[in-house]
Amino acid sequence: MSQPDPVCPLCQRPIPPGARSSLHHLVPKLRGGKGGPTVLLHQICHNEIHATLTEAELARDYASIDALRRHPRLARFIGWVRKRPPGFHSKTPGARRKR
């Protein structure tokens, strides 16, 4: 019997075989997260997290999936991407954060 596809904890869509995906360190490696917990995300979801938040913001305020899902820009992104098929990928739709 085959295993079900993993589910992206950010958008809660399945990650089918062959879909672009990557591991996200909940605490960035450069901020003490090396060897810490990671989650498997769709690549588009991972890209949006890093386009939205700095490493410092991730470490300080967004080191959990629940916190990420509450961020206003990420919440809008999740609402948008949930309407796409599980294997969907595109360039990061929004503008990058202001540095």
Q: Give 26-62 as a 3 state SS string.
A: CCCHHHCCCCCCEEEEEHHHHHHHHHHCCHHHHHHHC
Q: Average pLDDT of the chain? A: 92
56 has a pLDDT exceeding 60: yes
Reported as a single tens digit per residue, the pLDDT across 84-95 is 999 999 876 556
User: How far is 34 from 28, CA to CA, in rounded Å?
Assistant: 7
Least confident of 1-10, 37-46, 74-83: 1-10
- Between CA 49 and CA 82 the distance in angstroms is 15
Decide: residue 38, CB within 10 A, 0-12 exposed, 13-18 middle, 19+ buried: middle
| pLDDT attached to residue 33 | 85
List pLDDT tens digits, range 17-34: 999 999 999 999 988 889
Q: Which two tokens stand for residue 88?
A: 């969907």
Indicate if the pLDDT at residue 2 is higher than 80. Answer: no
CB 54 within 8 A of CB 60: no
